[in-house]
Structure 1
Amino acid sequence: MRVIAVWAVSTLTMLVLAGILPEFQLESDDGDTITRTAFTAAWGAGAFGLLSALVWPVLVRGLLVVPALVLGALVFFLNGSLLLIALRLIPDGRGVSDPETAVVVAAVMSAVASATSTALAVRDDEAYRRRLSRLADRRRRRDRSPSAPDPGRDGPPGTVFLQLDGVGHDTLVKAAAEGLMPTVAGWLADPAGHRLTPWRTDWSSQTGASQLAILHGSNHDVPAFRWYEKETRTVMVSSRPASALEMQRRAIARTRDGGLLTVDGASRGNLFSGGADQLALVLSMAARRGKGRRSRAGYFAYFSDPANATRTALSFAAEVAREICESTRARKTAPRVKRGGLYPLIRAFATVVERDVVVAAVLGDMFAGRTAVYADLVAYDEVAHHSGPHSRDAEKVLRRLDRSLALIVQIAAHTPRTYRIVLLSDHGQSPGETFAGQYGLTLRDLVRAGCGLPVPRRAQRTRSASEARDAVRIALHRPVEGQEAEHPAKPSDPIVLASGNLGLLSFPDIEGRASREQIDRRHPALLGTLANHPGIGFLLVRSEEHGSLVLGPGGVEVPVGELRDGEGPLAGFGVGAAAAVRRTDTFPHVADVMINSRYDPATGTVHAFEEQIGSHGGLGGEQSRPFLLWPRGMTDPLDIVAAETAETEEGLHGLRPPPGGELVGAEAVHRVLAHWLHECSGPQVPVRAEGFAGADRANEPFPAAAPLPKTPGAAAS
């Protein structure tokens, strides 16, 4: 009956469009009776519906070789082509349309048919459950062995981890209180709902470090979003596929564990796989060759429905137009950064395409009854970088993310097994004018001035980078490029890299970690210039005589071992800053000089060394305070921490809760999530490194490491 109803509505839509659009004709030149015209419309609507159901998925699967955004642009052309074919199937040649009109008619008919089918299915709960059950059965037969147990709704629950990239704890609380996120507000208000706690990031408060630890249990030797490795003369960048794959390999080798998702897991929209079998839009997998690039299957799963493709393409165009209008309005406000060029497309990709594909993939995983799903929604993080974390633009994104969350909650009531939904973030964002905007020169310019090297008369932009920006380049099959600042003109010139308000300075021609004495002999004024600049909070540098030191303004020098929170150069940076600096100091690839921007506790602002007015990557403010929101009934994270800490006399790194009652470090979050999976779904059997580091679950080998460039500063990918 629903098929007949959808067919009838599609027929009526086609008749209305034929009456409105002069180039779309359903009658012969001599005219037809109303009955004959209606019959023609019904024939055309039926033929178009069959072609959409049978031919469209084949076309999309064949077009997975083209870039994702190109596929989105082809949606209208392909849909229009199917309509032209359907019109040719009408007897006596009564269906006529020019190609441009066919595109419009096909888009409207796909949207109307999808809306009608969805509305009818939702009103008929039993039919809706049957449909989901059939879909779940098909997925289970495809993805599981026949002997695999079916947990059912009375069995152990599955767990969905949804990461709201860049949404800090205070931002979430404020959004819930102001009605921007009613689903979250309902969870917090319900005594039987969810519980919320903040956690504290490492010094490197960014997705690369946080998500690597959350999914793979370790972010050791990840000092920043990007860093320079002298032994290979390589710049590692967390959002580059080759770097992400190498980071994942190192974490697996260190933990001897495949990851959080190795048992019947799915990884969606993440930088790293987590050891999951099922992948979609996973950046580290984009570095693989051949069949290993299974992450692109997420596009097929979503775009195989022509209505999805049309809706997303229209939303994409609307988001581009919205960004152009908002950026025009923002020209009169401060602080601001340039938002032209490709940025409107990047924003639309992050807030529309990636969101829609990832959410659809999560729903598919729930239909299939998978045990653990981890998905990253990057929309807020990308918009907040350019519009500010508390801007009207960012608030609109939070509203749309809450609607996506509400959809997942609604679907969870109909899935073949029950699901517990855990919401979390990997870091927050701190607002503030850029370093270059505030002081008229970039960090690279300041370093060159301190070294006595030529400085451009006009401040050069430090191009911003993010997961979404590089994901767009990958979707377009374009290489992920590095910053010009990564390539020194001479081997002796310093390499200056930026990760939000954290800067990294390396001297490529000095073997190993350069000491303060070596730097002073070569550039006597450099460290003093940096430490006394009003936009810089503190420096970390190694001394041959005193060990590692933290330098602050006015000649303040504190050995790392004597650092205290709230004192000396770390005054104002909050609890845990000293421990975060000490831990990073132990990393093999810590930069010669680590530079953290100034932080103003009164305003909560920092100065990003990139073109970002909402930033993260270092210490200071909301960026270091993400959140964890979990259903009541699951063990409290601090209880998990206390139990694991009690297992040793000294305690485990990153697990001991501070006096304020927060989780410390992303590695602690990994242990909490792993504990929840264990208590929700029974004992997990992790895949050890010897079964995963060299080959994935399908026994497909990782590609051999690409030859590393031999010129200073050349990027790995």
Structure 2
Amino acid sequence: MAERRWRRAGSALLRVIVVWAVSTLTLLALAGLLPDFQLQSDDGDSITRTAVTAAWGAGAFGLLTALVWPLVVRALLLVPALVLGLLVFFLNGSLLLIALWLIPDGRGDAAPETAVVVAAVMSAVASASSTALAVRDDDAYGRRLSRLATRRRRRQGAGADSTGMECPGMIFLQLDGVGHEVLQRAVKDGVMPTVAEWLDGTHRLTPWRTDWSSQTGSSQLGILHGSNHDVPAFRWYEKDGGRIMVSNRPASAVELQRRAIERTGDGGLLTLDGASRGNLFSGGADQVALVLSVSTRRGRENRSRAGYFAYFSDPANAVRTALSFVAEVCRELQQSTRARLRGDRPRVARGGLYPFIRAFATVIERDVVVAAVIGDMLAGRTAVYADLVAYDEVAHHSGPHSRDAVRVLESLDRSIALIAKAAEHAPRAYRIVLLSDHGQSPGETFEGAYGLSLKDLVRAGCGLPVSRRVERTACGAEARDAAADALRIGLHRRGAYPEEFVAPELTKLDPSGFQPLARDPAAPDLSGPDPIGQDPAAPTPRDPRPPAAAPIVLASGNLALISFPDRPGRLSREEIEARHPALLSTLANHPGVGFLLVRSEEHGSVVMGAGGVEVPLAELADDGPLAVFGKGAAEAVRRTDTFPHVADIMVNSMYDPETGQVHAFEQQIGSHGGLGGEQSQAFLLAPLELSTPLDEEAELAGGELVGAEQIHRVLRRWLRECTGPQVPIEGAAETAAESPTKASSAG
């Protein structure tokens, strides 16, 4: 044993000496190549003296990066990740300037911009040298990866079940936005060789169908916490609280997680020695990194930023990621320019901050999350759930089947391979499960296809002012004409508006049901014949109702929610038509709209479509108006209709089954959020050692996995198979009130 320790110490010392020597040579080479970088006095030095100066500088820089860099990164944990990534070059260059300042007799000097370049090259060379020397040393490789693990891990119970015997851990890797069909195509085309190898012998692939709200907020909440009840879309308006909920806002994520825990009485999927990495929600894990629902927590206990420290504390990682970040920004600028020059259609704007957002998702978030997962495995954690968002971000702007998106799939496969390789050095066996939260459907945006946004169409259908550009479009003109005609008729018919919508002093109706002369001097004379036969060019009578608040229109991919904020509760179809007679027919008959969901006082909730189609939700079947959207569409709509915060009008875009295209109501040519096409088909790829997702009876009956909540139950079952019994947490709701991520060790 003593001999082995001495051998390890000698090997470590040899590596330090070799890396120091290589760094010294690199410093000498850079001094010869860069005019603003010197290692000699003004009078010149001998070769030996210059070499000693270089060795001094390399040693000082190595020592500073080993001792000072981790402290600097820890101090910057509260800095946003995007800013931290951009600061890497400046911080590393500053350390080099300090190292040169420490050289005796002032022989080291560099311009600030040159120092940045020298520091980046030095870090990269030192990292490459150290890694090369450790290739055949499994212990060194394990120690290097172990530095990525969170230092404050609680060690009790890791790696063993209640009997003290080793049991496998579980790694759940979510490939955000990668649909079932996209994965199959990538495997067939050789884009993802690691996944292809798994499918050939060790894993099984199972598709699953999302809820109507096919987006990360709903799916991941259901998967991690067992309930996505009352999440009607990615963003929605809640009348009772007067607020807009957005799934990827920290305050909304905290509230959604709290509601899910309160509803289930359980802390989440990861409460048993779990870790949550790169997710919207914690899943009840004690160890979190880049988790939105705890990102607002500040100070020393802000563990969500701990993943940054674990990764960026190694300056080589920081420089490598920063260089990749810059390269990705340049790649996006190049790709978007080529798409514009080729005249690719459909296409959306990709300027502004988007190149930096894309680089963050495809480089910084990927690198930090992968490093955190590797650290979790080397620390022996029981369950880890991580989200890799790169594909989803790129596919939104480049298209789900574009060359840009294919390149991201290739990088994701390399990340999966790296995690699988690291699992070989973990203290316990791991079973790796790949899954997605939804897919993406391609298609031109609604605005690109028809020249106006859905918000413009809604305003036109309500008779509200719109821009001249919108008025010139065919859809805008038709909606405005329909609203004007409805107003001319409505103002002269008894009962056209309920009393609460009409100014009392202007509404004395005579027995004939027609409106007499208005008493408002500014109002036009409404007496005389019925306006139906009047000249179309005649001015539209002024609406005597007090001005109502404009409807709130919120888009979630190809699903949109329309709410009237000045009216409490969910408005009925009758109330909406009394207020805006042309709105529902304008929307239902628009070629870019697939169907509407509204509440009817007579029939309960109804689905409305083009040509006057109207079917009570209770009678809706898969072969009805929603047949084009595929199996299960009717049930998905029925479930959402039960949510307390479903909008006054739910709008799903059209879907073309021949092309697979939908129209997003926001600026995305690859979208998800509603019904239609690949967006609703996610996947689950699991080792064969685990039980089948569906029981044998369900498979024989042609059953399928439906909804994120069912995926949660499947993952729970697999965790029980690997780590033993898990029971719901008693008093989880009370615990959640103190901290939405705090949970006991039972799960």
TM-score interval for Structure 1 and Structure 2 normalised by the shorter chain: 0.7 to 0.9
**Cα pair 1:248 1:272 within 8 Å, conserved:** yes
**How far has the Cα of 1:39 moved from its partner?**
2.0
2:399 and 2:549 map into 1 onto residues whose CA distance is 37
Alignment of 1:119-198 (within 5 A): 119-129=132-142, 142-145=152-155, 148=157, 150-151=159-160, 155-189=166-200, 191=201, 193-198=202-207
2:57 alignment partner, one of 28, 32, 44: 44
* Alignment TM-score, normalising by the size of structure 1: 0.88
Instruction: Name the residue aligned to 1:519.
Output: 576
2:616 alignment partner, one of 559, 581, 593: 559
Instruction: Name the residue aligned to 2:410.
Output: 399
**Cα pair 2:150 2:310 within 8 Å, conserved:** no
The answer to whether the aligner puts 1:668 opposite 2:679 as a matched pair is no
2:547 and 2:384 map into 1 onto residues whose CA distance is 47
The answer to whether the aligner puts 1:696 opposite 2:739 as a matched pair is yes
- Which consecutive residues of structure 2, in runs of 5 or more, have no partner in the other structure? 1-13, 472-545
- Which consecutive residues of structure 1, in runs of 5 or more, have no partner in the other structure? 461-488, 643-655, 701-717
Alignment of 1:371-386 (within 5 A): 371-386=382-397
Instruction: Name the residue aligned to 1:413.
Output: 424
Instruction: Name the residue aligned to 2:629.
Output: 573
Structure 2 residue identity aligned to 1:143: R
The answer to whether the aligner puts 1:624 opposite 2:666 as a matched pair is no
Question: Cα gap change, 1:627/1:459 in structure 2, threshold over 3 Å: closer, same or farther?
Answer: farther
**How far has the Cα of 1:131 moved from its partner?**
5.3
**Cα pair 2:150 2:307 within 8 Å, conserved:** no
2:279 alignment partner, one of 239, 245, 270: 270
SS of the equivalent of 1:364 reads helix
**How far has the Cα of 1:491 moved from its partner?**
4.8
Structure 2 residue identity aligned to 1:673: L
Alignment of 1:255-334 (within 5 A): 255-290=264-299, 293-331=302-340, 332-334=343-345
1:612 and 1:658 map into 2 onto residues whose CA distance is 39
Question: Cα gap change, 1:130/1:298 in structure 2, threshold over 3 Å: closer, same or farther?
Answer: closer
2:594 and 2:740 map into 1 onto residues whose CA distance is 46
1:127 and 1:73 map into 2 onto residues whose CA distance is 30
**How far has the Cα of 1:314 moved from its partner?**
1.0
**Cα pair 2:736 2:742 within 8 Å, conserved:** no
Instruction: Name the residue aligned to 2:262.
Output: 253
**How far has the Cα of 1:118 moved from its partner?**
1.3
1:218 and 1:116 map into 2 onto residues whose CA distance is 49
SS of the equivalent of 1:287 reads coil
**How far has the Cα of 1:292 moved from its partner?**
5.5
**How far has the Cα of 1:69 moved from its partner?**
2.3
Instruction: Name the residue aligned to 1:447.
Output: 458
**How far has the Cα of 1:200 moved from its partner?**
0.3
Question: Cα gap change, 1:131/1:389 in structure 2, threshold over 3 Å: closer, same or farther?
Answer: closer
The answer to whether the aligner puts 1:583 opposite 2:593 as a matched pair is no
1:549 and 1:100 map into 2 onto residues whose CA distance is 65
Structure 2 residue identity aligned to 1:112: V
SS of the equivalent of 1:58 reads helix
Instruction: Name the residue aligned to 2:511.
Output: none
* Alignment TM-score, normalising by the size of structure 2: 0.84
1:533 alignment partner, one of 586, 590, 597: 590
Instruction: Name the residue aligned to 1:468.
Output: none
Structure 2 residue identity aligned to 1:100: E
**How far has the Cα of 1:495 moved from its partner?**
1.1
Question: Cα gap change, 1:504/1:697 in structure 2, threshold over 3 Å: closer, same or farther?
Answer: closer
Task: Give the root-mean-square deviation of aligned CA atoms.
Answer: 2.1
Instruction: Name the residue aligned to 1:200.
Output: 209
**How far has the Cα of 1:699 moved from its partner?**
6.7
Deviations 1:605-638, CA, capped at 9 Å, x for gaps: 0000000000000000000001000011101001
The answer to whether the aligner puts 1:8 opposite 2:17 as a matched pair is no
Alignment of 1:59-98 (within 5 A): 59-98=72-111
Q: Which has the larger radius of gyration?
A: 2
2:166 and 2:107 map into 1 onto residues whose CA distance is 57
SS of the equivalent of 2:338 reads helix
The answer to whether the aligner puts 1:547 opposite 2:604 as a matched pair is yes
**How far has the Cα of 1:12 moved from its partner?**
1.2
**Cα pair 2:147 2:310 within 8 Å, conserved:** no
**How far has the Cα of 1:71 moved from its partner?**
2.0
Aligned length: 651
Q: Which moved more, 1:36-45 or 1:552-561?
A: 36-45
**How far has the Cα of 1:4 moved from its partner?**
1.5
The answer to whether the aligner puts 1:683 opposite 2:683 as a matched pair is no
**Cα pair 1:262 1:686 within 8 Å, conserved:** no
Structure 2 residue identity aligned to 1:414: H
**Cα pair 2:158 2:381 within 8 Å, conserved:** no
Q: Which moved more, 1:583-592 or 1:81-90?
A: 81-90
Deviations 1:141-200, CA, capped at 9 Å, x for gaps: x3225x5455399710111111010000000010111111111111111x2x11101100
Q: Which moved more, 1:506-515 or 1:406-415?
A: 506-515
